[in-house]
Amino acid sequence: MLMRIEPVDPIMTRDGRPFDDSPGSTASIMNEVSPGMLAGTIRTLLLKNRNGLSAIDKADLLRQLRIAGPLLEWNGHLYFPMPADLVIYEVNDILKVINLQPQSVAPDEGYFGVSVEGRQRMDLLPPLVQHYSKLYKGSPAFVREDWLYRELSGAVSADDWSRELNEWKKWRSSQSQEAAPPHSPFLQPYEREIRLHNAIDDTRGGTEEGKLFSTEALRFKPGVSLLVSIDMEGSKPDKRLKTLHSMGGKRRLARFQEIDWPQDRLFPWKCPESIASSMCKAKPGDRLRMTLATPAYFLKGWRPRWVDADFHTNEHLFECLNIPASSALRLKLQWACVDRWLPVSGWSIGRSVREGKEKAVRRMVPAGSVYFFELVDGDAGVLADNWLVSVSDTRRRKGPLDREDGFGLAIWGIESGRNCNG
């Protein structure tokens, strides 16, 4: 089942930092809509529409739900987070894009920080970064699907990115109210709306003097929506869902609607034919890339559990993806572009107040992070069959439902070895 969510109000997506009504405090938020928050909202909505179920049946229904998303949609196109291996500089008011590439290291060299003992290791290649000028702070947050697919197949050069981004910069200076300029492959970050509040005295129902605090929320441009895939394992409701429901903090409203995907558009969870074909033709020694479409949780921080200490994939990769254990697929992690960790917390309605309903803050790898692998052995085409499938580590007993909530959705492609100078 596909569901489209169109926020009516600005959405609060709290980032887990403590907050109260102390004078001057601010309820800060994340820069995106968390998959966990959206998954919890959808589960609550579906349970409300299933009247007459016992507590046991509701628990079984919750366990059956598999939610994948959200993906951003606007003007008939999907948008993905900008890949982290693209660096945008501003040189004399002109934007220049560099595709980060690894640099070769002499056999007797190495670098620190990749082994437990702190010794020099040669397992990972350090990225080659060329500083032309200051980084451009007005970069778009999302890129259209067709441009990302061309990037994954190596059909977009750094000059192509630079040309489109300079057009984006001209539009951004015009202060337009649109979500993006016409025909542009980019989408701007969510706008933040700040509201000022006054604390309320519960005993008399009036305001408390001097207790002013503020809250932040993400404002969606007109026409921008979220797309989510829901697998209910045969327990789909009889009626098509179309309703208003609260989402996020302060019970802000959004429209939830079950949709049918147009036949003239590529299904979001299906790999484009051009990428799938190139993946099937990959030979040992070729470089593959994995891009995160949603934040991912890995037990070892930035490194997945399915990548061992020698940076080779192990059997846990088969657990994450729909790959038979007999598969001969083997990859080796060569290098990665990972931005600063993302704090993700939440609220557990299943816990008592005494236990504490707040979930612990966990460090997640942000969306847009890119991992580069070398194909050691096997058929890389099986990765194309796992398009937008979660690569998050399997959950622990009584742990968070990361894979079932849509964390760690990944897309795969071929790295063409472009010139990093652009």
pLDDT digits (tens, 9 = 90+) for 102-148: 766 554 454 444 444 444 455 677 666 666 667 888 889 999 999 99
| pLDDT(220) > 50 | yes
Which neighbouring-strand residues pair with 73? 78, 225
Share of the chain above pLDDT 90, in %: 35
Quick count: other Cβ atoms within 10 Å of Cβ 281?
11
SS3 of 152, please? Answer: helix
Q: What pLDDT was estimated at residue 54? A: 64
Q: Which residues are CB-neighbours of 10 under 8 A, at least 6 positions away?
A: 193, 217, 218, 219, 220, 252
Is the pLDDT at 30 greater than 60? The verdict is: yes
Q: What is the mean pLDDT of residues 40-68?
A: 76
The region of weakest confidence among 163-167, 274-278, 318-322 is 318-322
Residue 420: pLDDT band by 50, 70, 90 thresholds?
very low
Residue type (1 letter), 43: R
In this structure, what token pair is assigned to residue 395?
């959950």
What structural domains and CATH numbers belong to the chain?
2-79+189-259 (no CATH), 80-182 (no CATH), 273-414 (2.60.40.4350)
Mean pLDDT is lowest, of 6-10, 174-178, 323-327, for 174-178
Give the count of beta carbons closer than 10 Å to the beta carbon of residue 327: 14
Q: Encoding tokens for residue 103?
A: 């640099």
User: Residues 216, 190: contact at Cβ < 8 Å?
Assistant: no
Mean of per-residue pLDDT scores for the chain: 82
- Confidence band of 222 (pLDDT split at 50, 70, 90): confident
Amino acid identity at 342: L
Q: What is the pLDDT of residue 118?
A: 47
The span from the CA of 289 to the CA of 152, in Å, is 8
pLDDT category, 419, cuts 50, 70, 90?
A: very low
Q: What is the pLDDT of residues 184-196, one digit of tens each?
A: 899 888 888 988 8
If you average pLDDT over residues 282-295, what whole number do you get? Answer: 94
- pLDDT of 343-386, one tens digit each? 887 776 666 556 656 777 888 999 999 999 999 999 999 999 99
Which residues fall within 8 angstroms of residue 220, CB to CB, at 6 or more apart? 6, 7, 10, 11, 190
Mean pLDDT of 377-404: 82
Question: pLDDT of 297-317, one tens digit each?
Answer: 998 889 999 999 889 999 888
Alpha helices in 240-344 (DSSP H): 273-280, 316-320
pTM of the model: 0.88
Model confidence pLDDT, tens digit, residues 72-92: 999 889 999 999 988 888 888
Contact 407, 294 (CB under 8 A): yes
- Distance, in Å, from the CA atom of 102 to the CA atom of 126, rounded to the nearest integer, reads 6
Q: Which residues of 29-63 are buried (b: 16+ CB within 10 A; e: fewer)?
A: bbebbbbbbbbbbbbebbbeeeeeeeeeeeeebee
Query: How much is the pLDDT for 112?
Result: 46
- For residue 340, give Cα distances in angstroms to 337, 363, 384: 10, 9, 28
